[in-house]
Structure 1
Amino acid sequence: MPPHLSADHPAAQPPGRGAVDALITQTRRLKGDVDAVRRDVPGDGSDPEDRWQRALYDLALHQLNDLDEHLAQLRDGPEDEPPQAPPAQRPAPARESLLSRVGSAEWNLLSDEASWSAELYEILGRDPASAPLTLDELPSLVLDVDRPRLTAMVTDCLVDAKRIDGEFRVVRPDGETRTVHMMGEPVLDGDGSTASMWAVLRDVSALRRSQEAVSETRDSLRHHRHRAQTEHRLAVELQEAVLPPWRGSLRLPHQGPPALHLAARRLPPSSRAAIGGSWYDALELSDGETLLSVGDLAGHGVAATSGMAMLLGALRGMAMTGTRPGPLMTWLNQLLDATVQPALGSALCCRYRPDGRALVWARAGHPAPLLFRGGTGRRLDAPDGVLLGATTTASYGEAEETLEAGDVLLLHTPGLVPGDAEEASVRRLLDLAPRLGAADTAQDCLRLVVEECGGAAREAEACVLVAKVVA
């Protein structure tokens, strides 16, 4: 269709071919860069953030493809057939060509005649041999909900000479719904009256689907983040409610001269999502003994912290009845095996008797305590004991150690030293023996351990408990 001139809009001069070629080159280079980054985004759809990023890249590529094709049409001018791009730049066979997505029309108000391009017939799915629809007939193709929008645009154009720029959805004869973007303006006669209206109509269905995908994945990502933040807050609150809120050395027992000075710390993970089921605990028992324990339940989030709270509550209750560490581990194992959501965990449980300074302990797949005495350190010989929840019929042995005044006992969960294997972690802690031996309090000892192990970024939380024998 020949270009139209309105009384108040002079014809613009088309850009030079060389300038358009430069824009096409830049667009295709940018397409390649975006596509290269897009391929690095995981495509399995398991992570909402990955889905959101991939949808954004898809939308950007779609818009760049459209820009590339529009620039090519601007450079080559209207043709019966679209120019063939080189193979590396040619759109995929399943992709619609530009000429099937952009059409034009003119409606003459004086003669009530309409003129459509062949591309507009294809967009609307109508037989090219049929007569083009008049402005009064055009709304019959539009969804009921969008008809007022189209009517308002056309009325504003014809009555107030306003430019048209809007979208509506049409239903093709085959039942498919397409989204069409319409841009146009009135053509005025010599006395300033509207003589006709012309428009360019573009099928933007695929583009809108890409935008909807971006919106949906963004909403999904927001929901995922909100849920993760809520679970993180609940896990932290549950952990803080269960673990002893120690801010300095805790002295046990509360009556009589102190036998142990205790200090403990939870070293948080560097990632907010990694709150887990690690714990430390010290409890003064009715018979005058002291229960010391550390442990780690597999998993993260509310499930892990609630499971940890269950185990710690059961451990405290059974210890108050006088259950020894070995049988206590057996009962914990059966409890974990009988839960609705079975899990694995490790634990270390000690009972310290001030009379005779006897330490009786058992473990379930957990690192053994470290004993520091006279400027040297060693790992206590560990009794048998598999992970909690590994097997229903597990039994747990006990070991006994006689402590001396001034001894420092260190209990910790796995991963106390970030990045180190268990043996390397033990050697690194044992190297602190001279400094721990010179420390006055359990809190001083804990501070040395944290300075050694707490500075590096850690993938999971860790707990450490220090006990210093004072009498």
Structure 2
Amino acid sequence: MTLATSHDRLPIRAVGAAPHGVDPAVSRLLDQVAESVLVACPVRDSGGALTDFDIVHLSPGYICPAGRSPAQLAGLTLLQAYPDSASGDGLFARAARILADGRAQRVTGPVGVPRTGPLTGKADAAKVADLRVALHAGCVVFTWRGRPPGEDSRLAELLGHVQHLGQLGGWDEDFTTGTVRWTEAAFAVFGLHPAQHPVSLSELHDYVLAADRPLLRRFRQSLLRQREPAAALFRIVRPEDGAVRQIRVFAEPVLAHGDVVALRGAFQDVSALYQTQVALAATRDQLADSEQRAAEEHELAIRLQRAIMPSGTSTGETAGVDIAVRYRPAQVGYLVAGDWYDVLELPGGDLLLVVGDIAGHGIEAVTGMVAARNALRGLAATGAEPRELLGQLNFAACLFTEGVTGTVICGRFDPRTRQLRWARAGHLPPVLVRGGVAAVQPLPEGMLVGMEPGAGYEQVALQLRAGDILLLYTDGLIERRAASISDALAEFAAAAVPSGPDLDSYAARILASAESDTGDDACLLAVRIR
């Protein structure tokens, strides 16, 4: 068998089965969007049992985990090329599982020890990352990318900064080998020296206050029985100073063939947050019988909102855009809700554009909005794409907050190419005003945050031009009780032209002409490309 190119029909060698494979157009597309592509089609015996996979396609830039060139793999099967890959998470083992259950696999970040098993069945010669495996036209398609030199050290440095700033410490526990590992930051959370042996989750009760040990025990049992991510809060007494600290632990089980083979997670010292919450609770109790309680709570919400949502912004001047913002409360003088916007210049020159709406009103909505806004700001510093930012924000909202749900639209504007990459979580689409015409943009997939921990978000790109105006807004600007959302969007787009030379006056006119009657707050962010 000769190795197929992206211009050939991909064959499959299977006894008693008709040839089939991946369409050449699909192969060409894969080669264009993925750095390294391997397509393997099953080989079966006369009884239909799987015996091997033919390697029927390799991309021009294929990076072999075993360190060989594509020419050296020509004419080989998967087991001939990688004879030790039939166990664990090897290429053959993964391909067989995908063929059996049809469920795609995705491993973000580094592939190999310690996070996943090697692809070749032994120590991989070439380091790869961002593995994706899926079934297409009866064949198994693998894609990954090479990991450039220095990526491990850069990731380790970034992880160190995150752990220090968030008082986080990572850990994992391998049940197959009995190995427990803690990062240095994990030892610091417990006030222990890194030279000491890390402690397994089942033995951690020796450091936990007696009243909180049942919580820790239920947390571990939940991970093993429910096989889903979980979190818990408990108190410890640090041996170095006798201080009582509030520790949050969150973890996820690692499954192999349906069994929990390991746990991995993080400890976080949340004592400062807990003490703040206790102080706030005491303050609320003291004000319970006071006529000023409602007024003071409202004033706090106003200050919080004004602190993070000023009436205007000069951000974006160095990114080649003009910015105008408007906010309209549901009632005059009551700036208390979960609507927010954010414009942030990122390292490297990109511009983060965000508009969101946390459900509800009052102090709960404002504090939820503050948490979401600050979380997105912190996550954006990692360089993640908008779809990844929304996925991480949704995960945090589901697991680490109580009752925080809402819609968000998040974009990353590159001033060098004038391209906007954006994603949305249940939010209304942006409106693009170009050449005197306003167009509502097609919606990518994405549910609102805080509903489903595993929700995924689609990302799209929008090429902008000089003079374009992009409008991001919340639903309180356009929704009406008697009109469908499509009609409301069409009327909003029609009212968005003409734009006029003064962007600030233009935003004020749009806000003044909006005819929403739902009694909800409204937020508008207008961005003009210079």
Structure whose residues are more often strand by fraction: 2
Query: TM-score scaled to structure 2, two decimals?
Result: 0.43
Larger radius of gyration: 1
Looking at both structures, which has the greater relative contact order when contacts are Cα pairs under 8 Å and sequence separation is at least 6? 1
